[in-house]
Amino acid sequence: MQISSASKVKTEFVFIHNSASTILSLRGDLIESALAAQMNVTVCIPPGNSKAQEELKSRGVRIFLIPLQRTGLNPFSDLYLFFKLFLFFKKTKPDWIFCTTIKPVIFGSLAARLASRKIRIASMITGLGYAFHPRSIKDRAVHLIARALYRLALTKNEIIFFHNQDDRDHFSDLKLLPSKARIKITAGSGVNLQKFQITEKSDAKEISFLLIARLLRDKGIFEFIEAARKIKSQNPNVRFQIAGPFDSNPMSISRVMMTSWKKEGVVEYLEELEDVRPALQASSVFVLPSYREGLSRIILEAMACGKPIITTNTPGCRETVRSGVNGFLVPIKNSNLLEAAMKKFISTPDLIATMGKNSREFAEQNFDVKNVNAQILSEMI
């Protein structure tokens, strides 16, 4: 794929991401802002999700397919990814590349610097991920490799964005941050307040608790199920719903496990949702008992839809909740206190509307995607 110099309007801007669907959902507004700033935009993504690819193309985005395997450490496939990116950058010489998620950050940064020292590099660290939570000897080896690669790759970056101060401090403590890079903290990826809005909820008598996430243990799925099981034994009309994709991550919930929970009558599984808005708007309370996030986008979307939030007092989650105002914070891995927080809405249902309104106001004041994107692009124009 060749981009001629004659086609340049202002800046050649390349996004590198691990999925067509997630770059569209998580970076779609940023891509639109870059296009509005008269930038030529290319996305480097692995094959898959032709619908998302067509949507990107319809917006005027060019696509370059890369052999990226999102999980696992395979030196041959990762070297092939590095080589493909290097050849692409060598040929096109973009002005800026913007990398998110671990492999794009590492291999995109290294390939760009080797291809041309004129390419300016920005990375966004959206969370610490599986590699930074070792549980076994193998995990610790992966952790050490990831740290070494991050340290090497980030020295090539001009700007490094973080979603929360804790992650920034953790990278600093591990001596992964180069002294010459500009370090910025954004309000996550922000939320589109026009797309996600409060709607009039139907007069359903049942209170419903909704969790949307990749189906990983670290999202607090087990704690959610345990709290739901206890509450339904006393309040059978209360509904508990989970939506999200199964994952290849070693900590993924299995389909067999989800099926058993459904048969037990504990939870309704809504599958992976292409559009989360109907489920959010139909729910009473949004719940994410995650062990750690960068800054949870789905919580921001739930807030914009006017939902009270129950989440954990952990980085990437606690920034979204003023406990007692727009929801409640609970400790990680504690199904008993999660259950207690849910019961507050069951015993005092008027809290749902009051805290939901506060969530919307909090989102408007702090997480408007227009402000977040303006901050990011102001660093790069």
- The residues that bridge with 96 in the sheet, in sequence order, are 13, 120
Given CA atoms 130, 125, 177, 97 in this order, what sign does their dihedral have? positive
CA-nearest of 105, 107, 31 to 63 is 31
Fold for the domain defined by 208-366: Rossmann fold (3.40.50)
Give the pLDDT confidence score for residue 139 in this predicted structure: 64
Give the pLDDT confidence score for residue 6 in this predicted structure: 42
Q: What's the order of all strands across the beta sheet hosting 327-330?
A: 268-269, 239-243, 208-212, 285-288, 309-312, 327-330
User: Where are the domains positioned within the chain?
Assistant: 5-185, 208-366
- Which pLDDT tens digit goes with each residue over 154-165? 998 999 999 999
Whether the per-residue pLDDT at 166 is higher than 70: the answer is yes
Q: How confident is the model at residue 204 (pLDDT cuts 50, 70, 90)?
A: low
42: helix, strand or coil = strand
Give the pLDDT confidence score for residue 1 in this predicted structure: 39
Mean pLDDT over 296-314 rounds to: 97
Residues 207 and 315 sit within 8 Å (Cβ to Cβ): no
Give the pLDDT confidence score for residue 249 in this predicted structure: 72
- Which pLDDT tens digit goes with each residue over 220-274? 999 999 999 999 999 999 999 999 998 877 778 999 999 999 999 999 999 999 8
Phi, psi (degrees; rounded to nearest 5) at 51: -65, -45
Phi, psi (degrees; rounded to nearest 5) at 336: -65, -45
Q: What is the Cα–Cα distance from 147 to 232, expressed in whole angstroms?
A: 44
CA-nearest of 295, 337, 375 to 122 is 375
CB atoms within 10 A of CB 182: 11
Q: Is 44 left (phi over 0), alpha (psi -120 to 50) or beta?
A: beta
Give the pLDDT confidence score for residue 138 in this predicted structure: 66
Min mean pLDDT across 20-29, 72-81, 129-138, 331-340 is at: 129-138
Q: How far is CA 108 from CA 78, 131, 224, in A?
A: 11, 18, 37
Given CA atoms 63, 246, 134, 316 in this order, what sign does their dihedral have? positive
Give the pLDDT confidence score for residue 131 in this predicted structure: 57
Mean pLDDT over 122-141 rounds to: 72
Whether the per-residue pLDDT at 275 is higher than 80: the answer is yes
CA-nearest of 97, 94, 100 to 26 is 100
Mean pLDDT over 40-49 rounds to: 93
Residues 158 and 120 sit within 8 Å (Cβ to Cβ): yes
208-366: same fold as 5-185? yes
CA-nearest of 210, 266, 217 to 243 is 210
CATH number of 5-185: 3.40.50.2000
Taking all residues of the chain, what is their mean pLDDT, rounded to a whole number?
A: 91
Phi, psi (degrees; rounded to nearest 5) at 129: 75, 180
Residues 240 and 224 sit within 8 Å (Cβ to Cβ): yes
CA atoms within 13 A on the CB side of 135: 5
Whether the per-residue pLDDT at 329 is higher than 90: the answer is yes
Q: What is the Cα–Cα distance from 219 to 135, expressed in whole angstroms?
A: 16
Give the pLDDT confidence score for residue 130 in this predicted structure: 57
Give the pLDDT confidence score for residue 200 in this predicted structure: 72
- Greatest alpha-carbon pair distance for the chain in Å reads 69
Q: What is the Cα–Cα distance from 227 to 243, expressed in whole angstroms?
A: 17
Phi, psi (degrees; rounded to nearest 5) at 122: -130, 140
108: helix, strand or coil = helix
Determine the Cα angle at 211 with ends 51 and 47, to 5°: 25
Residues 338 and 289 sit within 8 Å (Cβ to Cβ): yes
